[in-house]
Amino acid sequence: MRTNVLLPLLISFLLIVPLSSHAHTVIIALGDFQPMFAPEGEPALFKSIIDGVYKHIPDRQVQYLYMMPTKRLLNMLNKGEADGAANIFNQAEVQGCITDPVFRYEDVVITRTSKKFKIMSLEELSGKTVVGYQRALNLLGDKYKAFMEKNPKYQEVGNVTDQARLLSQDLVDVSIGDKYLFLHSLKQIAQDKFNPSDYQIHTIFPPVYTYMGFNDQQYCDEFNTALKKFQESGEYEKVYSQFLKVYGYATP
């Protein structure tokens, strides 16, 4: 009789335990371009930011879906196949919520050190051969668009590696784009010959931020609270500094 009573209780317990542990897991889809994202086990800038935030949410486990093209990543989030997705540009992309600004892009002007350019404004790019990333004219503001449309030596390419190659081979004076993406590409094509002192970074653009997107407001709220703690701890900026050091650049 005692066995008959305990058996249903045991079965109920076994069914409940997996469900309760799974309730603490959040599934997050990641992008597919380095160094912001990377295959599992490899360092990735934006994943490191997410990891740092979730250290402040100890009862939440994170399961990542790696190297997702942007369109697939958004579809998975909006269809509920993932709880969250990284690198969302605006609310219109998602049916759920977006967080406070999380991921920082730092578009900069990069030149060869040997050219000894001092660039502190757009006007100082006048007369120079310039390569930008695809759609830079639409993304870097009206002033940039108006200025570059008057420059017959301006071009845009669809691959950051092409930008790095053009500058490294001295085929252009200036490359414009995110410094982490550019330095990663430059290191990939130069390999052992990569020397960061051969290049100079000029900061003339304000940073641009993207967001985490979630399909549940609770996830957005807890992420925002943890993000603030992560930033206030100083660890947020430390992640960006550490990734610059990978490319041989010291930070202030």
Residue 21 lies in a domain: yes
Q: Of the candidates 134, 90, 105, which has an alpha carbon nearest to the alpha carbon of residue 36? A: 105
Please report the pLDDT score of residue 8 as a whole number: 53
Cβ contact 214:53 at 8 Å: no
Residues 89 and 213 in one domain: yes
Residue type, 119: I
Cα distance between residue 186 and residue 199, in whole Å = 10
Residues 11 and 58 in one domain: yes
Residue 251 lies in a domain: no
> How many Cα atoms sit within 13 Å of 98 on the Cβ side?
18
**Tens digit of pLDDT at every position of the chain (252 positions):** 444 545 555 445 444 444 434 448 999 999 999 999 999 999 999 999 999 999 999 999 999 999 999 999 999 999 999 999 999 999 999 999 999 999 999 999 999 999 999 999 999 999 999 999 999 999 999 999 999 999 999 999 999 999 999 999 999 999 999 999 999 998 888 877 778 889 999 999 999 999 999 999 999 999 999 999 999 999 999 999 999 998 887 665
Q: Give the number of other CB atoms < 10 A from CB of residue 98.
A: 21
Instruction: Name the packing angle between helices 235-246 and 217-232 (round to 10°).
Output: 70
Residues 96 and 120 in one domain: no
Cβ partners under 8 Å of residue 78, min gap 6: 94, 95, 96, 215
Alpha-carbon distance values, 114 to 117, 143, 167, 173, 215 (Å): 8, 28, 12, 11, 50
Q: Which two structure tokens, joined as six digits, stand for 218?
A: 């609770």
Residues 6 and 99 in one domain: yes
Count structural domains, the chain: 2
Please report the pLDDT score of residue 52 as a whole number: 98
Cα distance between residue 12 and residue 203, in whole Å = 61
Residues 231 and 185 in one domain: no
Looking at residue 140, which CATH number applies to its domain?
A: 3.40.190.10
Residue 124 lies in a domain: yes
Q: What are phi and psi of 62, to 5 degrees?
A: -115, 130
Cα distance between residue 249 and residue 197, in whole Å = 8
Cβ contact 153:109 at 8 Å: no
Residues 124 and 187 in one domain: yes
Residues 86 and 167 in one domain: no
Residues 96 and 216 in one domain: yes
Residues 12 and 95 in one domain: yes
Cα distance between residue 12 and residue 185, in whole Å = 54
Residues 132 and 13 in one domain: no
Residues 89 and 117 in one domain: no
Residue 169 lies in a domain: yes
Residue type, 128: K
Q: Which two structure tokens, joined as six digits, stand for 4?
A: 């008959």
Look up the domain containing 31 and give its range: 2-104+209-246
Residue 117 lies in a domain: yes
Q: Of the candidates 157, 159, 155, which has an alpha carbon nearest to the alpha carbon of residue 184? A: 159
